[in-house]
Amino acid sequence: MSQFKLPELPYAYDALAPYMSAETLQFHHDKHHQAYVDNGNKLAGEGTKYAGKSIEAICVEAFNAKDAPVVNNIGQHFNHIHFWKWMKKGGGGKKMPGKLEKLVEAAGGFDKVRADFINAGVTQFGSGWAWLALKGDKLEIMKTANGENPLMHGAKPLLGVDVWEHSYYIDYRNARPKYLEAFVDHLINWEHVEMMLEAKTS
C-alpha cells in the first residue's frame, strides 16, 4: 500500500478557466503532482525512516537532515495537496473570513499584503513558491525555492502560490506577474486559508 496518494481535484478541470486552463490543470495535477507522489513513495514510503510519519513531520525532518530529494518531492506533495484547495471558481479578491481579515489588517491591510505577496512570487528566482505564513502570531510573506515550504522554516503555511513555470507557462507564457495577479484577484479560496489558520499543528 502506498503511503502517499494523488488527491482528486476539488473541481472540474475547466472550472478555473480563463485564469487557469484545463490543459494546465491536466498537466500540473495529473503529471507533475503524480510524479511527486510516485517519487515520494519511493523515497519516504514503506521501508524508509519516514514510513508512517505525518507529511508535515517528514517535511521538517527531511529539511533538517538536508535530505534534498525528500524535501523536494514530499514538500511538493504537501504544497500541491493544498494548492488545489487554495483555488476555487469565483475566488480571490479582498472578501475573506473574519479571523484572517484581522491578521491581514494587522499586517498593513489587503492592498499591502496583495502587493507584497505578488512581489514575493515575482522575485522568487527560478522555481519555487510565494507564501502567506503565520510566524508567532503575525502574518509573514515568504518565498521558498523548489519544493520547500514554511513548515521547514519554522512557520505555518496559510496560503501558497506555485511559481514553477509548469503552473503558468501554458496560460501566461513568461508573464509570471499576470498569473500572480489573476491568482490573487480571481482564484484564491480564502476559506481554505482560514481553515489552515485555525488548524492545530505541532
Which positions touch Mn ion (CB under 5 A)? Answer: 162, 164
Q: Could you give the CA distance from residue 20 to residue 83 in angstroms, rounded to a whole number? A: 13
Nearer to Mn ion, 83 or 190 (CB): 83
For the purposes of burial, counting CB atoms within 10 Å of the CB of 74, is it exposed (0-12), middle (13-18) or buried (19 or more)? buried
The verdict on whether omega for the bond into residue 10 sits within 30 degrees of 0, i.e. cis, is no
User: CA-CA distances (angstroms) from residue 74 to 23, 69, 109, 116, 166?
Assistant: 24, 8, 33, 27, 18
Task: Give the residue from 61, 58, 94 showing the smallest Cα distance to 79.
Answer: 58
Nearer to Mn ion, 19 or 164 (CB): 164
The HSE-up count of residue 194 (CA atoms within 13 Å, CB side) is: 11
Q: Write down the least CB distance from residue 177 to Mn ion, Å.
A: 18
For Mn ion, the nearest residue by Cβ is 162
Q: Write down the least CB distance from residue 17 to Mn ion, Å.
A: 18
Task: Give the residue from 89, 97, 79, 90 showing the smallest Cα distance to 190.
Answer: 97
Nearer to Mn ion, 148 or 162 (CB): 162
Nearer to Mn ion, 21 or 48 (CB): 21
Q: Write down the least CB distance from residue 103 to Mn ion, Å.
A: 26
Q: State which amino acid sits at residue 142.
A: M
Nearer to Mn ion, 162 or 171 (CB): 162
Q: Write down the least CB distance from residue 198 to Mn ion, Å.
A: 25
Q: Write down the least CB distance from residue 166 to Mn ion, Å.
A: 5
